[in-house]
Structure 1
């Protein structure tokens, strides 16, 4: 069987949410470097504008609150005005609070549900409304390895990412004949502000840079790949674990120290991130 030809990204219009920092920014920079026309959105409008200026190559930074349908629709309309029809929409915005589940404040729980899951739902729906009439486009939802493997100490975050995985799996089947391509991205421990205060619990669960995720996302567009892991090795490990009895699988996860990633995170080292992610409206 011949290998599918790679799809070039040069000239495509790419829209990325939550892209002033971290994975989103690295992804925007790589797409721009490959010749794509990029629009980034972030609730921190000044940071989005600064990131776009630093990335250059006609990148546009716009304000966006992924929790609000009107804000999201306005953002996508502005992106279309800047660079034409949206070829690729990447729902990347996400926040993570680490600590004992029973001590998590309600407003923090709500913010994670709204940003991580509702944001992906709204973005997917509004993106599809634009893509379906023309029978094309690529919708990418950034979940997490925690969307396939539970992360103690980040139970609500885990729940939202399981939701993003389920959402994208369902959309892929529902719109299988629409011409729209779907991808779900599952990063592991990525060295961004979200992981401040955490320390690798095992050499088998290393932190990698956001550029690793960006490269996998671009490859997913080029190859029209649905399931995306970063690093790729974690995908093999998770799939292999699905064939192991639950007790054995949980024992391996605990041996690897999965309970320490969030469970032993330093609140002091995470304070700046938590304030930026959960402070304000």
Structure 2
């Protein structure tokens, strides 16, 4: 077995890095700094070109995984990460949003740790928080919504799909475009009101962002007109604010 080149370890370091929801100026300062130093970047399909421009010096490898489209198998991504760490000093695995939420981080961490490769996670702004900011609709609301559940209909091979949805005040479904009809029907069957407020955010934080305000019974009609990445937010917290509501809140505060 040959010795590693002088002055460096036998393997590099891998960063699982959150790119945020899409806009390049929503990546963290640490994330942008590491990207600017990366020798190779393995990136998801949802990472925007604007974000990738932050690492012009790096070799860029697309390992995109998008629902319903041809994509790179997770085992192949794991293998490429290990191979890159043995060739480069600083490797970035760039994921949309936050790497620890619906980012298959567990599989990649296991593969890297098993190979004895140093790895660090750099968080990013997850799309739900960016969508709440874009719509100016908090995910929680005093007296109305004190619990939030993030969920996705995507399941691992061999695992059954959930027949019920989380029992929380606010529900946020990632990659919810194609599952909109099924999600609405499940919630209606669980007794949720047909008039329950729904906000759909397509292409969150990007120049072509689109915001749709619906009711649960309207969501049941589907989102076939949405073609970009879709986040679906459901709950009473998303009801439109009114002046009367604001005045009542002020009155309660004055009484206290």
What is the TM-score normalised by the length of structure 2?
0.37
Which structure has the larger Rg? 2
Instruction: Pick the structure with more helix per residue.
Output: 1
Instruction: Pick the structure with more strand per residue.
Output: 2
